[in-house]
Chains A and B, each alone.
Chain A
Amino acid sequence: MALINVASREIQCKIVYYGTGYCGKTTNLQYIFAHAPQPARGDLLSIATESERTLFFDFLPLDLGDVHGFRVRFHLYTVPGQVLYERTRVAVLNGADGIVYVADSSLEKLEENFQSLIELETNIRRMGRDLGNFPFVMQWNKRDLPNAIPEITLERYLNRRRVPSFPASAVTGEGVFPTLRAICKAVMACL
């Protein structure tokens, strides 16, 4: 949950990148870490398995610096995407102020994305919230793949709420910052 610390003049918000395994959540954070301006970015922390799969979460603090006398910080997290880590995803989602759903655009991942979104909706509901009126954006990642399905198809099957969505290729960085800007603004609008 967002924390406004009047005494230390800080505002902190938590943003979670959610999605299936290998969809590019960690790659998003790695790109942001590599390309965000130096004073704004903290250290990227990853709790990964030996094969570099996310085991618990990645964590990247971003510091906007002084805004009207307050230091504004966004803490970015990823969840582990593999199906068996659902309980871990619930643990990381705890207290989230905004969510980015990262979808792998390839055809063979469509069904998995669909199931993953149902799981996300269920988990958010358990937290007493509704994705329909929660800061939430979608990213159609891996648009560079030859078997990427058309965006209009992704919109139709995965974005029934018609939330803002962004085509992306996290490996090259395309769409990474537009997605980040959108979720950060959505979170601030709901403070």
Chain B
Amino acid sequence: MLWNSLLLAVRAIRRNVLRSFLTILGVVIGVASVIVMVTLGDGTTQSVKEQMQSLGANLLTVRPGMRMGPGRDEALAPNFKMADVEALAAQIAAAQAVVPTAGSTVTVVYGNKNWQTSATGSTAAYFQTNNWRLASGRFFTEAEALGGRAACVIGSTVRRELYGTESPVGTEMRVKSFSCEVVGLLASKGQGGMGMDADDTIIIPLRTLQRRVRGNDDVTGLQVAVKEGASVDAVIEQIKGLLRERRKITEGEDDNFSVFDTRQIADTLSSMVRTLTMLLGSVAAISLLVGGIGIMNIMLVSVTERTREIGIRLAIGAVETEVLSQFLIEAVALSSLGGLVGIALANAVALGVTRLIEVPYLFNPGMNLVSFLFSALIGVVFGYFPARRAARLDPIEALRYE
């Protein structure tokens, strides 16, 4: 009987192709938007995680002030000094490396081109803790860093803007007011977190930046690489205790510096993306529901329009359950078809958009399957009422219907 009902349902759908297509459009759009939203969310989460991974695992960042970004009070949160770096390195056993950094925005010039970029001053260990790889040349050495040599390593964006296709290694580039030898070119990291270009940077020895750019001996940030297997939380506590002591913060007073765990930042970002994905996914799910109501609407119209047909079927001996299952199967076939078309459409769109916004495209088989089953369920739920109405028609009345 199921097979017969399916046959009858397929014949009925085939008899009215245009209307069948319009009927399923709501479900197509609903399923497609759910899948696109979730796929883009998954891709973005993945992308955030990869970027955070590229910053280096088990890396703690210490900054003056209680929050990230601009607006901190210099007087209340003074910068660090090299003495702080040495103290941390000497006293925290679980620290693999303590890397000082200072940053500044500089204009770099080569030939007749100039470009504004961010310069980071640090030690030779910086390249390792931040997972930088070389495209060509070399990193500056620890000796060069200590000696304050004018040696710089440039990012691929700076190279593109100043050198085009020319090899930058060995050339002299002007940074602000001094001349600097380009010793290495960094391999591209691609788009950084939150739309920043990680490759738009130059890295020079800290001492060089302090003397020739900033004109002071401040250290604006510390990076602490934690040894494999050591407790990150314990290291954070040690850093806090030591810095409070060194910065003469009395009991009960708040810290005037912050310690960030990169993994924590990654988790926060990921959970933000997840929340946003769920929100957008729910909105999309509502449109799927509206698609279901669309099916019910058309099925009801169809039952009224096909009253005579139903009368014929009943007169020649169809029982109530056969008419019910025919219309129900028709609704389920329509909505499942909508689900399939929606899945195909969604993955095509998601593939295009993920390329466009440069996040990985992750095919999620479970979610696609659930979307399909849900679209079939919508057919059952919203097809039942019209189908029952059809099945309960009186054959005499139905045959007389004009």
Q: Do A and B bind each other?
A: no
Residues of B within 8 A of A (CB): none
